[in-house]
Amino acid sequence: MNLTKHYNFTYSYNDEGTDYDGEYPTSVSLEKHLTFDECATWDAVLKEFLLFLSHVYGYDITNQVSFMTMEERLDRIREKNNLSSDWPYDEEDSYDEGEAASKV
């Protein structure tokens, strides 16, 4: 069974009290509806949200927001603690989450 998650982004702006001599819109409404498989990572959703915000602002903001995916975070923990590339999915490595998290 293929489960999905739905995301709805909405932006509305209405400024009836300001006169811009027709240069700017007095009303703007944008909507974006997305459906992802349940296995989609949060960063895929975040990237779509950043694209949505780029349309709201009128310029690309995707490179102005930095984040680390879960896989990148796990890679950093593996590297700093000399863990196998299968960690945390293998059972051979010993790992103290609190100690490793303080090093990241």
Residue identified by tokens 């995707």 is: 62
CA atoms 80, 81, 85, 90: torsion sign: negative
d(CA 18, CA 87): 58
| pTM > 0.75 | no
pLDDT tens string 18-64: 666 667 777 889 999 999 999 888 889 999 999 999 998 889 999 99
Q: Residue 93: what pLDDT?
A: 47
d(CA 89, CA 104): 19
Q: Given pLDDT bands bounded at 50, 70 and 90, which one contains residue 71?
A: confident
